């Protein structure tokens, strides 16, 4: 059991957490069609035709390539970025989305039938 915890600990610590958190924020901004309107930016029609999941994957790949160039990473760091991308997709979909949905359900008040 301790070996499993050590392996998971090393895996989680090896991920690029700045990339993960900023990708979640950028993806939330770009996949919510109304969020860009607040900044006076109209979402292009071609972007609305792409499913949200594919938008997130595309943004993650482009953003990962940009960070690879910006941070002057080496070939060994590509695997770390891909693992961070996959972890981001799973983490966002399974944990954050479920938590937000439960929180929103908790906030909604159902009328009582009297």
- Residue 16's contacts (CB-CB under 8 Å, 6 or more residues apart) are 67, 80, 81, 84
DSSP state of 20: H
Note the pLDDT tens digit of each residue in 14-71.
898 999 989 888 887 777 666 667 777 777 777 778 887 888 888 899 999 999 889 8
Whether the Cβ atoms of residue 35 and residue 55 lie closer than 8 Å to each other: no
Per-residue pLDDT reduced to its tens digit, 89-107: 888 777 777 777 777 777 6
pTM of the model: 0.71
């Amino acid at each position: 059991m301790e070996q499993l915890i050590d392996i998971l600990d090393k895996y989680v610590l090896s991920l690029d957490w700045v990339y993960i958190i900023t990708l979640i924020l950028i993806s939330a901004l770009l996949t919510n069609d109304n969020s860009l309107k607040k900044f006076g930016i109209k979402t292009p029609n071609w972007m609305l035709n792409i499913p949200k999941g594919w938008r997130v994957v595309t943004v993650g790949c482009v953003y990962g390539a940009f960070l690879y160039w910006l941070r002057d990473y080496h070939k060994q760091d590509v695997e770390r970025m891909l693992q961070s991308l996959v972890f981001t997709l799973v983490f966002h979909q399974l944990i954050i989305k479920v938590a937000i949905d439960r929180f929103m359900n908790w906030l909604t008040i159902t009328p009582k039938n009297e």
